A and B are shown apart, each in its own frame.
Chain A
Amino acid sequence: MRNMWVIFKKELFRVLTDKRLVLTVFILPGLSIFLIYSIMGEVIGRQMTEDEIYTHTVYAKNMPESIKHSLEERLTFELMEGEYDKDTLEEMVREEEVELALFFEEDFEDKIEAYQAGSPIPELIVYYNQGHQHSSTAYNQFMGVMNAYHESIIRDRLADPDDYHPYLMTSENFLDERTVAARGIAMLMPMLVIIFLFVGAMSIGPDAIAGEKERGTIASLLVTPTKRRDIALGKVSSIAVLSFLSAISSFAGILLSLPRLMQFGEEMPDMGIYRIVDFVAVFAVLLTTVIFIVSLISIISTYSKTIKEANAMIMPFYFIAMIIGILNSFGAEPNQSLWVHFFPIYAPINALSGILMFEYSVINLVITLLMNLVYSGLMVYALNKMFDSEKVMFTR
């Protein structure tokens, strides 16, 4: 057992004193997530404010004053001077010089007021360009105005204004702010965390094990009176601690950038909605999952002859984890059936979403944690055998 510590400390020393590794394993993941999310939030935010301050260019022929006033309340715009024909305006809307072109028939409002059954109805032609963001916004706002206008006219035409309502509807929204926020967090976090756990373990594991085989340093370790179990445990535990630190860096990046990402969204996720037990449960799932992933990567790294080979062989597992994570983030409810909690990788991701959405049963959580540990135990046992196998250690 003492030698396990000796190996553990050496592996930690190896990584923690290497500036390049510290940068790539601990700083870069958190920093890059923080930057990406902050920039995303910034871009979304800028677009929203830009829509508000942007002055739209609108051409309007014969626009009734009442409609103009309503539109002014909803959209910042400037009316074009002068008269243009439809073809010219079509061209201008296509070229994005004009956002919205409105052709009201002459005396539009008078004609509507003078309406009798069977008399001709006035015409309105609208040009816009949905592919252009400002044009699309202008059109949507204009349609909002026209819908209200439409409604008021119909109501006026009815003999009894109450006829306008074929039914009476009241709706009440019992929205729980907590679940909305939780959903947002549960969608993103499990996937990101699993991916970063993998990335963290992948940047350390192959070098620590396959690297020793590739460099030929493993023989010096194997001729010392060190139990193979101590070698296996020393390697796995050190890689696990380092990967966990790396995952925490990514996690911090997510947490810090969340307010910036969500600043213009409807609901602002707030970690305060979770209780201590939730955090403990998340922590337990993460910890056992780290051990599982690291054991898996260690097995592959021990089997491989070179770092390159190890990385290539880890890739498929990484992709599987990523796909499970992405499917999970498309966010159906967490799967509650007992048997799915026996599947590695899927179960912890599912459990994480469950915990974050306040929808998990203790029994499922316990199975997830236990299975992570059971699988890891089996793999560490295999690892121990592998370190003792000359076929694995000295194959040509």
Chain B
Amino acid sequence: MDLEVRNLRKTFNLSRKQRRIEHTDEKRRVAVRGLSFEAKRGEIYGLLGPNGAGKTTTLRCISTLIKPDEGDVFVDGKSVLKDSMGVRKNIAFLTNELKLDDFFTPNYLYDYFSRLHGVDEKTAEKRKKELFKRFGVDKFAEVKVADLSSGMKQKTSIAISLVHDPDFIIFDEPTNGLDVLTAKTVVDYLLELKESGKAIIVSTHILSVVEKLCDKVGIIIDGELKVSGTLQEVKAKDAKQDLENVFFSLVEESGGADRA
């Protein structure tokens, strides 16, 4: 059993402030409407969709940060609703928005999260060495996060999210806002993780990320999964095998659903 998203549905109540900002009268917004897909070990699944499509909401449900209204997610057979603690032990949630407390050093934060995950000290120490070396954090291990470059911050936060060596890795917009070099390090690392048998889900609104990274892809628009399958299968929807064409025709079909 790998990772299964089953009929996921999530609705938000819109605050008055949010209604004003978005010029809308609706009190509730269905962010995700009945989403189902599967992600397998040794594969990268890409959720491709425009802004506001419901990607972050889906990934947050998978990571147990928010609870679905309907449906469920099973991570290695464990339900996010019934056994969120069990899910958390074996999952990592990364995002380009994931901030680190400025005051601490990568070294301190790594140890802190290792302890929270209950990793024993010897294993933690060994893994820290590897991860820090892999990302070049080792030279900055004792520098406060506040003084790190933004690329180094992102690499640190990846290392720190993986202290417990989880089998499932959820990454929201992995290359967003990163410089080309850091973005390449991240992409390479995700491919490495895939090779080592992890199940990975990424979300993105950038077509090239999907092309480079993903084995399977689901196109999500307005909270619904329009197509899902291997990259080849999805590309086959277009006569020229062009992912871009597939994507834009789906966006057009649903009335250019970019809200944000």
Contact = CB atoms under 8 A, between A and B. Distances in A.
Interface of A: 2-3, 6-7, 10, 13-14, 18, 212, 215-217, 219-227, 390, 393-396
Q: From DSSP, what is the main secondary structure of chain A's interface residues? A: helix
A225 B93 CA distance: 12
A216 B118 contact: no
A224 B88 contact: yes
Contacts of A212: 101
Given A215-B101, A223-B65, A225-B88, A396 B18 contact: yes
21 contacts: A2-B115, A3-B116, A6-B112, A14-B104, A215-B101, A219-B65, A219-B93, A219-B95, A220-B100, A220-B157, A220-B161, A223-B91, A223-B93, A224-B88, A224-B117, A225-B88, A225-B89, A226-B116, A390-B65, A390-B66, A395-B15
B65 A394 contact: yes
B154 interface: no
Contacts of A220: 98, 100, 113, 157, 160-161
Contacts of B67: 390
Contacts, number: 67
B28 to A, nearest CB: 13
A394 to B, nearest CB: 6
Nearest to B90: A225
B97 interface: yes
Contacts of A394: 60, 65-66
Nearest to B113: A224
A216 B98 CA distance: 6
Q: From DSSP, what is the main secondary structure of chain B's interface residues? A: mixed
B85 interface: yes
Q: Specify which of B86, B101, B160 lies most central, judged by the most chain A CB atoms within 10 Å of its CB.
A: B101
B99 interface: yes
A225 B101 contact: no
A2 B65 contact: no
Q: Specify which of B98, B102, B160 lies most central, judged by the most chain A CB atoms within 10 Å of its CB.
A: B98
B103 interface: yes
A222 B113 contact: no
3 closest residue pairs by CB, A with B = A216-B99, A225-B88, A390-B66
Contacts of B92: 223
Interface string B7-19: 0000000010110
A38 B228 CA distance: 76
B203 interface: no
A222 B65 contact: yes
B107 interface: no
